[in-house]
């Protein structure tokens, strides 16, 4: 029965349009809109009721450590972030000490990267020289087409042809192996070259960071020399007396 009822034609559902004299007030509110708005209103009212109950039952002697840095100004809650907490300002000497530690770390990392780069360059140069001196594009094998002199033993044409086919197969197999080995060597050299380039780039970045940090420390100590600011104006630091 349900299938027949669904197959039967039904009247098109039409809703009443918005009256023209009321169009300035927006869309016509339907029953589903009212239910949604009423449910939201009831939810907010229940939350406010719960908060009022908690506020009335609050213990006035309750304490937690966040209250130490808090104050209230006409009902609004404020925190003292400048004196305590994560946003506390550091002194000039502490900042210089931190920059000194950063400089030491950068020097250590720079020395480590430089040593790695030198070892990688040595391996790269060694592999490249072995590649160039070890045959380059592979060895060329020349087969002697003249049959070897035997001790009076005469071989048939079938034996000679089978031996020649066997020699050709061995030559082809050997050539394929040599090409594979050559390809592997080239790949290892390319990988080593990319490693050297990456270490060089890392060493360059660490050097720039270390020089910038040293310049900052010199400016903080008042021992920096001449310079140019972002506006192109030249300046000169004077040592503290």
pLDDT tens-place string over residues 22-33? 778 877 777 888
Q: Has residue 237 been placed in a domain?
A: no
Tokens 């034996």 belong to residue = 159
Helix (H, G, I), strand (E, B) or coil at 153: coil
Q: Are 198 and 98 in contact (CB under 8 A)?
A: no
Render pLDDT for 131-180 as a digit per residue (tens, 0 to 9). 888 654 445 454 454 445 445 544 555 555 666 766 777 777 888 888 88
Q: Has residue 202 been placed in a domain?
A: yes
Give pTM, 2 decimals.
Answer: 0.42
How many other CB atoms are found less than 10 A from the CB of residue 178? 15
Q: Has residue 229 been placed in a domain?
A: no
Dihedral over alpha carbons 62, 66, 67, 69 (to 10 degrees): 170
Of 165-179, 196-210, 219-233, the poorest mean pLDDT is in 219-233
Q: Has residue 103 been placed in a domain?
A: yes
d(CA 33, CA 15): 14
Q: What sign results for the dihedral spanned by CA atoms 58, 59, 63, 69?
A: positive
Of 53-57, 204-208, 216-220, the poorest mean pLDDT is in 216-220
Task: Please give the residue range of the domain that contains residue 109.
Answer: 90-136+158-213
| The token pair that represents 162 in the structure block | 């089978």
| The token pair that represents 141 in the structure block | 């094998």
Helix residue ranges per DSSP H, 15-91: 31-56
Is 107 buried (19+), middle (13-18) or exposed (0-12) by CB count in 10 A? Answer: middle
| The token pair that represents 175 in the structure block | 């050539």
Tokens 């040593």 belong to residue = 115
Q: Has residue 110 been placed in a domain?
A: yes
State which H helix or E strand residue 179 sits in: helix 157-221
Q: Are 238 and 225 in contact (CB under 8 A)?
A: no
| The token pair that represents 7 in the structure block | 């197959």
Q: Has residue 9 been placed in a domain?
A: no
Q: Has residue 70 been placed in a domain?
A: no
Q: Are 121 and 196 in contact (CB under 8 A)?
A: yes
d(CA 120, CA 192): 7
Is 24 buried (19+), middle (13-18) or exposed (0-12) by CB count in 10 A? Answer: exposed
Q: How many domains does the chain have?
A: 1
pLDDT above 50: residue 186: yes
Q: Has residue 200 been placed in a domain?
A: yes
């Amino acid at each position: 029965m349900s299938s027949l009822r669904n197959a039967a034609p039904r009247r098109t559902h039409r809703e009443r349009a918005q009256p023209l004299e009321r169009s300035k007030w927006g869309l016509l509110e339907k029953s589903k809109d009212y239910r949604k708005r009423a449910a939201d209103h009831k939810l907010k009212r229940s939350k406010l009721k719960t908060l009022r109950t908690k506020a009335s039952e609050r213990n006035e002697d309750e304490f937690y450590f966040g209250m130490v840095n808090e104050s209230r100004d006409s009902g609004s809650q404020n925190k003292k972030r400048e004196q305590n907490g994560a946003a506390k300002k550091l002194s000039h000497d502490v900042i210089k000490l931190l920059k000194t530690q950063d400089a030491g770390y950068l020097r250590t990392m720079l020395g480590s990267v430089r040593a790695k780069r030198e070892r990688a360059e040595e391996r790269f140069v060694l592999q490249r020289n072995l590649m160039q001196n070890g045959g380059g594009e592979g060895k060329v094998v020349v087969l002697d087409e003249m049959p070897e002199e035997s001790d009076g033993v005469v071989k048939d044409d079938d034996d000679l042809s089978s031996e020649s086919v066997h020699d050709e197969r061995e030559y082809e197999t050997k050539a394929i192996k040599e090409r594979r080995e050559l390809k592997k060597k080239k790949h290892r050299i390319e990988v080593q070259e990319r490693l050297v380039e990456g270490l060089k780039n890392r060493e360059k970045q660490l050097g720039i960071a270390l020089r910038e940090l040293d310049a900052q420390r010199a400016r903080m100590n008042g021992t920096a020399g001449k310079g140019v600011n972002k506006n192109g104006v030249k300046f000169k630091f004077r040592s503290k007396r």
